[in-house]
Each structure stands twice: as C-alpha cells, then as structure tokens.
Copies of this chain bind each other. A is one copy, B any other.
Amino acid sequence: MLETINERPAMPAVPAATGSITSNGGAQKRRAGRPSAAVLDKSGITAAALELVSRKGYEGLTMAALARVLDVAPSALYNHVASKQDVLLLVEDHLMSLVDVSGFGAGSWEDAVRTWAWSYRDVFAEHTPLIPVIAVLPVTDAPQTLAMYETVSKGFSDAGFPRERIVPAIVALESFIFGSAYDVTAPEDIFESGSMADSTPHFTAAVRSSAGQERGRPADTAFSLGLGALVSGLGALRTT
C-alpha cells in the first residue's frame, strides 16, 4: 500500500521562487574611487546563466555565450567570478531557493518530506549537470542552500528526530533525490534489451510487465515507490 500514501502532492512542485535574484546580499562594499555604473555583478551573471541554460541547455552555457548575453567580453566575467565552476555554484545556490520547504511547520512530517522531495527532484531533473557540483559544494558558499537545510533540519527536529540522526537522514533522502533526478532524464526505451532479450528472460519479462501497467512516467513510479519506503523507514526513527 506504499503507493497510496505516497502520491505526488497536489501542490505545484515548483512554486514561485522565494529567493529572487536581486542583489548579492550586500556583500559588495562600495569603496572610494569605484565607478557607479558597473555593467556586471554576481546576480546579473546568475540570471543570465539561468536564462542561457533554459534556452540552450548546459552545453550552451559557455563563458563566451554568457558574456554575449551580458554584452560584455568573456574576460570581463573574471572580474566577478573566479572560474566557470563559480558560475555553476551561483546557479546551483539560486535553484535551491526554488525548492519547496513550505510543508515543514504546516502539516505532518510525512507530507512535508514528500512535498520537499518531489519539488527538489523536479528542480534538479532540469539541471542534472549541477548534481556533481552539489556534492562538492561547501554550504558556507551557498546561503540559499544553507537556508534550505535549516528549514528542513528544524522540521525534522520538531518532528521528534534524535539530533544525531537528522543529518544522515537528510543525506540519505538527498542521495535518493539526486539519483532520481538523473532517472527523469533517461530515454524511455533505455531498458529495451533488443537482440539480447533471449538471454535475459527474467529482466525482459519484468521490463515488459512494468511498461504495461504504468500510470505516468516510469521515473515517477520508481520515485514514488522509493520515497514511500524511505519516509516510512526513516520516520520510524522518531522518538515522539
């Protein structure tokens, strides 16, 4: 019965951004002698990178293309970011503000986790090239990411999780979410065994059988199944 309590939440998985790209957080200290009309700043670079990605995908996100969008020479970008990796970090942190954490503090812990997990997966399914970046990104450099973790941690704590289990539980859920985000991008026929079908009878039968019965995308079925297992398994760790 896992799937019946684990349907996708009805709320939009990707609600309006809570963190808009307006400024770089006041970190920029205006000092003597500085020209007032800087063409570039981190928030502008972030916005341009996001627009470029949505139009051309991540292969289209090059420093040259980014500079062209901003009507600037490629080398000018290096006055504001240290590397292309830095640009990816900016984008990644912004995306974290799109993840829906509104369920924490509102309803049950289970519902909150499900809403969070679905929207988290949906956001990064569109941005899988950033997933390797996240794995290496120290949260210090990523205020929006840190804000998300704070909200989620509080939600777990309030739900009765022992403090020392909170981080491992979140990490386990995130691992599942990132892997599932890749899964969304897989071609539909990825499991067609083709000419070797004869030598893999069990697998071929399983593939055919699941393909027949599916409502919606295969990736959604697997995500729903795994998320249900994780929510009930991890939920059992609560002490209250």
Query: Which residues of A line the B interface, CB within 8 A?
Result: 2, 128-129, 131-132, 134-140, 143, 146-147, 149-150, 152-154, 156-157, 163-169, 171-180, 182-183, 185-187, 189-196, 199-203, 205-207, 209-210, 212-213, 218-219, 221-223, 225-226, 228-230, 232-234, 236-237
Q: Are B200 and A150 in contact (CB under 8 A)?
A: yes
**Copies of this chain in its oligomeric complex:** 2
Cβ–Cβ < 8 Å partners of A154 in chain B: 202-203
Cβ–Cβ < 8 Å partners of A210 in chain B: 163-168
Q: Are A186 and B140 in contact (CB under 8 A)?
A: no
Q: Are B229 and A232 in contact (CB under 8 A)?
A: yes
Q: Are B185 and A180 in contact (CB under 8 A)?
A: no
Q: Are A206 and B171 in contact (CB under 8 A)?
A: no
Cβ–Cβ < 8 Å partners of A134 in chain B: 182
A172-B226 in contact given A139-B192, A194-B140, A233-B233 (Cβ < 8 Å):
yes
* Contacting residue for A164 out of B172, B212, B229, CB 8 A: B212
Return the chain B residue nearest A143 by Cβ: B196
* Contacting residue for A153 out of B137, B179, B206, CB 8 A: B206
Cβ–Cβ < 8 Å partners of A205 in chain B: 153, 163
Return the chain B residue nearest A212 by Cβ: B164
Q: Are B183 and A175 in contact (CB under 8 A)?
A: yes
Q: Helix, strand, loop or mixed for chain A's interface?
A: helix
Q: Are B171 and A218 in contact (CB under 8 A)?
A: yes
* Contacting residue for A223 out of B175, B218, B225, CB 8 A: B175
Q: Are A168 and B225 in contact (CB under 8 A)?
A: yes
A239 and B20 alpha carbons, distance in the complex (Å): 49
Q: Are B222 and A146 in contact (CB under 8 A)?
A: no
Q: Are B153 and A203 in contact (CB under 8 A)?
A: yes
A222-B172 in contact given A139-B191, A191-B139, A192-B139 (Cβ < 8 Å):
yes
Q: Are A183 and B206 in contact (CB under 8 A)?
A: no
A172-B223 in contact given A202-B157, A229-B229 (Cβ < 8 Å):
yes
